[in-house]
Amino acid sequence: MFLRCFLFLCICLSAHAVDDHRPQAALFALNRLGYGPGVGDVARVSQQGVRAWLQAQLHPASVVLPTPLAEHFSALEARQREAINRLDELAALGQVSDRNREQRQILRREIFRDIAEADLDARLQRAVLSPRQLEELLTEFWFNHFNVYSGKAEVRALAGAYEREAIRPHVLGRFRDLLGATARHPAMLFYLDNWQSVASGSRRNQSGGLNENYARELMELHSFGVDGGYTQQDVTELARMFTGWSYERRNLAAGPAAAFRFVQRWHDSGGKRWLGQNISQRGEAEGEYALDVLASAPATAAHISLQLAQFFVSDTPSPALVQRMAQRFKASDGDIRAVLETLFESDEFWQAVPRFKTPYRYVISALRLQGVEQPPLRAVQGTLQQMGQAIYAWPTPDGYKASEAAWLNPLAIQKRVDFATQLGLGRLASGSASAASASQMQAEIAPLLGANTRQILNDQSTALQAALLLGSPEFMRY
């Protein structure tokens, strides 16, 4: 029933025949280009017009934040910066010794906990509250694409800064800028071990050597893709080009520009042959040259376009759509906004069939629909942990999957029903009671609800309706 209802809504949704002011089109856009509607969003987008709303989302600075919300976000970021500035306290302790080892460990745990909580709170509240929903969705997408894992030592203190400094500013910019920002950030340098990758024969080689982790993922995940046409020798040569790219622990609190350092004496200054080209000795510039080549390669255009189409359309998008996006990528010098414009102008996007929400999308969409203004951080992160998609917590470089196969299973359904019950009945945490009634929530997504679900909701007490709506099969898809 749900599938038939959804397909009916999509009959008129194409790049050439979108009725700008139809609530159905507005609901589709809110679900696909953000984390779903809050009460009143469908009416607002319908009134504004879907095309105008979409253009505003593609230019998030044009979406003016209400003053209280802007101040709230500023306070969240200030808290993040204050927390990470405490890393200076660790630096002030100097070298580790038997005398200060215990003191350092206690302080380290305290500081890392404060930083992690500030970062998680900022990510969660922005996703739930920001009207710049496409920006939030793309922040999630690109963080997964350039994933770092907060469970790996120092990354716990750097994951939020990495998102704030290397990911968020570039989500709609040039891919080359995004690629470079991630390559130079201490979180990535530490996570994939490039900070200790050094030339054979250097003095530091006694405690390390050439490390290929970053070079491999840079080609396999970040740019070319696994079928991009490179060899193991290319990975090794690329790793040699990035030797000496490191960071200074004492400068972590000052930001990536201050923390990054290139150490010439650790760099492999020998000749290299990469992707069929001889690479002359240029020190740090070798890595920058490699990023230029990778960002502009046709294989990268195809790989990034495929991943974006899989994220926004389906697990198996049309090859024709991916090809058009890749052409736009190349023609625009990797302009992410331009590539997304091609995607969002396509019939394939507007006629996409419903998909099963990832745990993160499901939880955020539920909080938004219910109008929770102060998401309970620990309860939500705990729920996401149980569902398998806690924030900043995927251990491998490939990031969380967006595919239906990764998340659709009986245990996942059970966890979602449990969450819907707790949230719908106001038990998730004190002070998290709904700002929207069950009837308001139902009216907001009414076009998606099948007759059976509507009947079940109408037959139940008001106290149960919100939980049943959030746990309905229709709400688990978008």
Query: Residue for token digits 């990975």?
Result: 235
Q: Residue 215 — very low, low, confident or very high, per pLDDT cuts 50/70/90? A: very high
Contacts of 230 (CB under 8 A, 6+ apart): 219, 224, 275
Does the pLDDT of residue 200 top 70, yes or no?
yes
Residue 138 belongs to what H/E stretch? Answer: helix 133-145
Q: Are 46 and 23 in contact (CB under 8 A)?
A: yes
Which residues does residue 274 pair with via DSSP β-bridges, in sequence order?
Answer: 277
- Mean pLDDT value across residues 340-357: 97
pLDDT value, residue 8: 42
Instruction: Give me the DSSP letters along 121-132.
Output: HHHHHHHHH-S-
pLDDT value, residue 2: 47
What mean pLDDT is reported for the chain? 93
Q: Residue 207 — very low, low, confident or very high, per pLDDT cuts 50/70/90? A: low
383-422 residue pLDDT tens: 999 999 999 999 999 999 999 999 999 999 999 999 999 9
- Mean pLDDT value across residues 345-362: 97
Q: Distance of alpha carbon 166 from its chain centroid, rounded?
A: 12
pLDDT value, residue 100: 76
- Give the global pTM: 0.94
pLDDT value, residue 473: 96
Does the pLDDT of residue 236 top 70, yes or no?
yes
Does the pLDDT of residue 153 top 80, yes or no?
yes
Q: Residue 6 — very low, low, confident or very high, per pLDDT cuts 50/70/90? A: very low
pLDDT value, residue 206: 54
pLDDT value, residue 17: 58
Residue 197 belongs to what H/E stretch? Answer: none
Q: Are 366 and 475 in contact (CB under 8 A)?
A: yes
Letter for the amino acid at 181? A
Does the pLDDT of residue 203 top 70, yes or no?
no
**Angle in degrees, CA 157, 162, 166, rounded to 5:** 165
pLDDT value, residue 90: 85
Q: Are 25 and 18 in contact (CB under 8 A)?
A: yes
Q: Distance of alpha carbon 80 from its chain centroid, rounded?
A: 18
Does the pLDDT of residue 172 top 50, yes or no?
yes
Q: How far apart are CA 335 and CA 381, in angstroms?
A: 33
297-332 residue pLDDT tens: 999 999 999 999 999 999 999 999 999 999 999 999
Higher pLDDT, 15 or 444: 444
pLDDT value, residue 3: 47
Q: How far apart are CA 239 and CA 126, in angstroms?
A: 36
pLDDT value, residue 16: 54
Query: Residue for token digits 């405490």?
Result: 86
Higher pLDDT, 434 or 114: 114
pLDDT value, residue 387: 96
